């Protein structure tokens, strides 16, 4: 009968559930050995991809600001404004990039993004006006922070399902730890040569690594090499297969953004990105109120890495083992804790605990959203859906520093500002408590 579902499929909220497939390491019905699971290689390539977004991330760009200000003869406020404009322009393109990833696959997408990212970085070496600066910032934020990071996340989403939480935790943890070394490398390049030469060096590194890793290291989908997520493989000539975890059917982008679940996740992402970016951007001044020198305040980024690493793995593991029901709300509770700590910081152990909690919030939310999004809506259109999510999150990061600066200016201190801003995660926490996965049909 027309429109009926095959007997080996069931129906879910967004369409028919495909039949399960057999586990890797077994032999297929016709005797061919199951191929070795390629997902771990994909995860490794994705981790490197996250690390290489560094020159387009705030932590990478930050080391160029002072020498660029001195050379170009513009104020920090002008550079900051151009950075805000570039970030918002770059963020606005993420839905287009997400749709392109779905259409051409992660392999070709990474090659094209690698070309665009390297050209954008090279253009930064020739900046001579504020307009050029804004265009350059838009390019490195678009291709680096946005598109390349999104490709890495989508790649892992396609290759893992039962173990997606742990895989995303590894991506967030190891990739984040690698990102932390980028400012050190770029700063060394500036000291060794100049800021213009270092932009060119970064462009060469991106072209030499991102492009070949994408072409030779990535595989668009497991089915392209007779595999499936988590290492399960199937023989198309027989239905004599079994799996404890059949793949969830997928929502389109239009279907996903019509659900309340998507917007709850987006709100969590925006709130976290906005508030954490604001706290990091103003960390030196904020911790100066607590009596820390600039050197000790800068050193607090190290405990953040520890917190992010532990939380990324832990949250991913918990999602795989116990599900996602209360994870979003728990992340907002942690963000509330961070802001409450920021209202009463003093030198010593409390500052270290604050830094660890700040890192844990960022790492935990990144791992949670990367895992929950494909879990809710499937992976067939995950690039398009992730593109909208990335737009929201990057926009949140763009307005975070300005928001905290304005509130601090009005209230007179960072402690008072954080007391006021705590209402944001508190409100999101209430909404997140009532969030449930899209119902199966």
Residue 226 main-chain phi, psi, to 5 deg: 60, 35
Q: Can you give the residue ranges of every domain in the chain?
A: 36-225, 250-436
How many CA atoms are closer than 13 Å to the CA of 139, on its beta-carbon side?
Answer: 20
Q: Which of 67, 64, 60 is nearest to 179 (CA)?
A: 60
91: which 2 tokens? 């963020």
Concatenated DSSP letters of 103-150: HHHHHHHHHHHHHHHHHHHHHHTT--SHHHHHHHHHHHIIIIIIIIHH
CA pair distance 279, 293, nearest whole angstrom: 17
Residue 73: partners with Cβ closer than 8 Å, 6 or more residues away? none
Q: Which of 434, 429, 331, 316 is nearest to 375 (CA)?
A: 316
Q: What is the pTM of this model?
A: 0.79
Sign, CA torsion 147/98/326/246 = negative
167: which 2 tokens? 């895989």
Q: Where is 244: in which H helix or E strand?
A: none
48, 269 contact by CB (below 8 A):
no
CA pair distance 423, 431, nearest whole angstrom: 13
Burial of 131: CB neighbours in 10 Å, binned 0-12, 13-18, 19+: exposed
CA pair distance 213, 56, nearest whole angstrom: 18
Query: Looking at domain 36-225, which of 1.20.1250.20, 1.10.287.1060, 1.20.120.80, 1.10.10.10 is its CATH number?
Result: 1.20.1250.20
For residue 306, pLDDT over 70 is answered with: yes
CA pair distance 154, 432, nearest whole angstrom: 24
How many CA atoms are closer than 13 Å to the CA of 38, on its beta-carbon side?
Answer: 20
Q: Which residue has tokens 């994408």?
A: 214
Burial of 283: CB neighbours in 10 Å, binned 0-12, 13-18, 19+: buried
pLDDT tens string 338-350:
999 988 887 678 8
Average pLDDT rounded to a whole number, residues 32-58: 88
Same CATH topology for 36-225 and 250-436: the answer is yes
Reported as a pLDDT band with limits 50, 70 and 90, residue 77 is confident
Mean pLDDT of the chain: 84
Q: Which of 335, 377, 387, 333 is nearest to 15 (CA)?
A: 377
pLDDT at 29: 41
Q: Where is 22: in which H helix or E strand?
A: strand 22-23
Average pLDDT rounded to a whole number, residues 127-149: 94
Reported as a pLDDT band with limits 50, 70 and 90, residue 30 is very low
Query: Across 3-7, 58-62, 210-214, 402-406, which has the greatest mean pLDDT?
Result: 210-214
pLDDT at 84: 87
Instruction: State the fold for domain 250-436.
Output: Growth Hormone; Chain: A; (1.20.1250)
Residue 68 main-chain phi, psi, to 5 deg: -70, -40
Q: What is the largest CA-CA distance in the chain?
A: 75
Reported as a pLDDT band with limits 50, 70 and 90, residue 439 is low
CA dist 408 → 282, 285, 404, 420 (Å): 10, 11, 6, 10
Average pLDDT rounded to a whole number, residues 29-54: 82
Burial of 398: CB neighbours in 10 Å, binned 0-12, 13-18, 19+: buried
DSSP for residue 33: B
pLDDT at 228: 85
Reported as a pLDDT band with limits 50, 70 and 90, residue 213 is very high
CA pair distance 154, 381, nearest whole angstrom: 10
For residue 220, pLDDT over 60 is answered with: yes
CA pair distance 304, 356, nearest whole angstrom: 5
Query: Across 137-151, 169-183, 245-259, which has the greatest mean pLDDT?
Result: 137-151
CA pair distance 181, 171, nearest whole angstrom: 16
Query: Across 23-37, 123-137, 352-366, 398-412, which has the greatest mean pLDDT?
Result: 123-137
pLDDT at 296: 78
Residue 126: partners with Cβ closer than 8 Å, 6 or more residues away? 132, 196
């Amino acid at each position: 009968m027309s429109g009926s579902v095959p007997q080996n499929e069931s129906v879910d909220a967004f369409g028919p559930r495909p039949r399960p497939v057999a586990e890797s390491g077994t032999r297929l019905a016709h005797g061919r050995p199951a191929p070795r699971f390629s997902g771990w290689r994909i995860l490794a390539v994705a981790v490197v991809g996250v690390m290489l977004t560094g020159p387009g991330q705030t932590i990478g760009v930050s080391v160029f600001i002072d020498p660029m200000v001195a050379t170009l003869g513009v104020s920090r406020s002008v550079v900051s404004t151009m950075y805000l404009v570039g970030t918002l322009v770059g963020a606005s393109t993420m839905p287009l990039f997400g749709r392109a990833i779905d259409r051409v696959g992660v392999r070709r997408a990474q090659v094209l993004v690698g070309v665009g990212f390297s050209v954008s970085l090279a253009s930064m070496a020739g900046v001579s006006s504020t307009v050029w600066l804004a265009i350059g910032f838009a390019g490195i934020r678009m291709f680096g922070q946005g598109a390349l990071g999104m490709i890495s996340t989508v790649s892992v989403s396609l290759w893992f399902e039962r173990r997606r939480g742990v895989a995303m935790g590894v991506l967030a943890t190891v990739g984040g730890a690698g990102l932390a070394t980028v400012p050190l490398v770029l700063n060394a390049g500036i000291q060794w040569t100049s800021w213009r030469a270092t932009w060119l060096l970064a462009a060469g590194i991106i072209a030499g690594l991102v492009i070949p890793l994408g072409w030779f290291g990535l595989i668009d989908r497991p089915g392209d090499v007779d595999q499936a997520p988590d290492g399960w493989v199937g023989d198309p000539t027989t239905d004599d297969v079994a799996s404890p975890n059949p793949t969830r059917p997928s929502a389109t982008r239009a279907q996903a953004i019509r659900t309340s679940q998507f917007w709850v996740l987006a709100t969590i992402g925006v709130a976290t990105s906005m508030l954490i970016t604001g706290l990091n951007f103003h960390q030196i001044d904020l911790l100066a109120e607590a009596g820390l020198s600039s050197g000790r305040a800068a050193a607090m980024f190290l405990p953040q890495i520890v917190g992010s690493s532990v939380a990324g793995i832990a949250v991913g593991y918990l999602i795989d083992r116990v599900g996602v029901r209360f994870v979003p709300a728990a992340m907002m509770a942690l963000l509330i804790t961070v802001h409450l700590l920021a209202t009463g910081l003093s030198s010593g152990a409390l500052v270290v605990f604050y830094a660890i909690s700040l890192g844990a919030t960022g790492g935990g939310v990144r791992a949670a959203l990367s895992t929950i999004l494909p879990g809710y809506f499937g992976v067939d259109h995950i690039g398009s859906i992730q593109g909208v999510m990335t737009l929201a999150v990057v926009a949140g990061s763009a307005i975070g520093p300005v928001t905290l600066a304005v509130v601090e200016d009005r209230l007179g201190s960072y402690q008072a500002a954080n007391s006021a801003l705590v209402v944001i995660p508190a409100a999101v926490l209430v909404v997140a408590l009532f969030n449930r996965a899209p119902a199966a049909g």
